[in-house]
């Protein structure tokens, strides 16, 4: 009995040691203030997006919470205002699963706001189904909606420069591929709607995020706009809240024990958004508040990045 108790105590001690060492995320060290700056954050009513918004509000930014769920977003607005004392926090309706909604949001924003200093493409999901326009839900929300949003706002970003585009990707992109033939014929990144297939589609969409940022940086050369993609870390968020029974049974204990909170997950987003001196790293992928140097060739495939951009333009009716 004493041996079992000792073993349990050692396991607990090892777990907490792991939490404060290996699993601990670096923190954004920027002391930048954002008074007079305007920021858009997609999916800012929960998780990493909400935590990022809270930090930027404390720095004095004018914040646009671009979200689908009005009730949850308005509750988040009130909480951020109450916590930070910054009254310049507003909700604007955006459904990334609808290209019409993306265009409407961009038009409303350009009409009502005179500048845009920071666009954070944060929203993401791992749901089955199709978007309003017939694309796979994961591809449509995680990549295509953000692609169109960014393109529609580029002129305002350029006029407000120096400005930045930050896209929340994931280390899961390392397990992703982009099958352009399947994408062209099925308007999706792959088949299937089971938990494993949805996770694979998520990985594919995160590779799209990395390739999009890589190509965007090339197209922004000579402008005052820089862009970055990032891995937020293994974070407890609501991204898989629609997962099936077996997904929940297997993953929830692991997520609870070994994944970190949203505040930790926001740190690399904040670093990419705020840190001075990283402008020359535009187009790069960051993790743990630092650029990753050993990227896989598929994440720096110039031909694939250009092809994805051109196909995305076609899907969005821009070409």
| β-pair partners for 41 | 65, 120
Query: Which alpha helices (H) appear in the chain, and where do they start and end?
Result: 2-20, 47-58, 70-84, 99-112, 137-139, 146-159, 180-186, 195-219, 245-258, 262-265, 267-274, 302-315
Quick check: is 202 catalytic?
Answer: yes
266 near 44, Cβ under 8 Å?
no
Percentage of residues of the chain with pLDDT beyond 70 = 83
Tell me if the bond preceding 99 is cis, omega within 30° of 0: no
Ordered per-residue pLDDT tens for the chain, 319 residues: 555 555 445 544 443 444 444 455 799 999 999 999 999 999 999 999 999 999 999 999 999 999 999 999 999 999 999 999 999 999 999 999 999 999 999 999 999 999 999 999 999 999 999 999 999 999 999 999 999 999 999 999 999 999 999 999 999 999 999 999 999 999 999 999 998 999 999 999 999 999 999 999 999 999 999 999 999 976 555 544 445 555 555 555 554 455 576 688 899 999 999 999 999 999 999 999 999 999 999 999 999 999 999 999 999 999 8
The three-class DSSP label of residue 304 is: helix
Select which of 182, 202, 228, 256 is catalytic.
Answer: 202
Which domains are seen in the chain, by residue range?
A: 34-315 (3.40.50.720)
Nearest to 100 by CA among 89, 108, 91: 108
Each residue's pLDDT tens digit, 102-114: 999 999 999 999 9
């Amino acid at each position: 009995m004493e041996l079992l108790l000792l073993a349990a105590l050692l396991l607990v001690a090892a777990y907490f040691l792991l939490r404060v060492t290996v699993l601990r995320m670096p923190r954004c060290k920027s002391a930048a203030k954002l008074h007079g700056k305007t920021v858009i954050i997609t999916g800012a009513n929960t998780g990493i997006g909400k935590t990022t918004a809270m930090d930027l509000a404390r720095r004095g930014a004018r914040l646009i919470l671009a979200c689908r769920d009005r009730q949850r977003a308005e509750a988040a607005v009130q909480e951020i205002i109450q916590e930070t004392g910054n009254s310049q926090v507003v909700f604007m309706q955006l459904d990334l699963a609808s290209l019409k909604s993306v265009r409407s949001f961009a038009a409303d924003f350009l009409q009502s706001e005179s500048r845009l200093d920071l666009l954070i493409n944060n929203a993401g999901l791992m749901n089955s189904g199709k978007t309003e326009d017939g694309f796979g839900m994961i591809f449509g929300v995680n990549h295509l909606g953000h692609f169109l949003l960014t393109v529609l706002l580029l002129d305002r970003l350029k006029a407000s420069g120096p400005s930045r585009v930050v896209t929340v990707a994931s280390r899961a992109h390392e397990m992703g591929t982009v099958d352009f033939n399947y994408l062209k014929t099925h308007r999706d990144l792959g088949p299937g709607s089971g938990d494993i297939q949805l996770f694979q589609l998520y990985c594919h969409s995160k590779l799209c995020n990395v390739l999009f940022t890589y190509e965007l940086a090339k197209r922004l050369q000579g402008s005052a706009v820089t862009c970055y993609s990032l891995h937020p870390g293994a974070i407890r968020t609501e991204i898989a809240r629609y997962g099936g029974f077996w997904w929940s049974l297997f993953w929830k204990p692991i997520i609870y024990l070994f994944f970190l909170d949203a505040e930790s997950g926001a740190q690399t987003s904040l670093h990419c958004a705020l840190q001075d001196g990283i402008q020359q790293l535009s187009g790069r992928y960051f993790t743990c508040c630092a650029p990753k140097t050993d990227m896989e060739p598929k994440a720096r495939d110039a031909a694939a990045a250009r092809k994805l951009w051109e196909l995305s333009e076609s899907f969005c009716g821009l070409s």
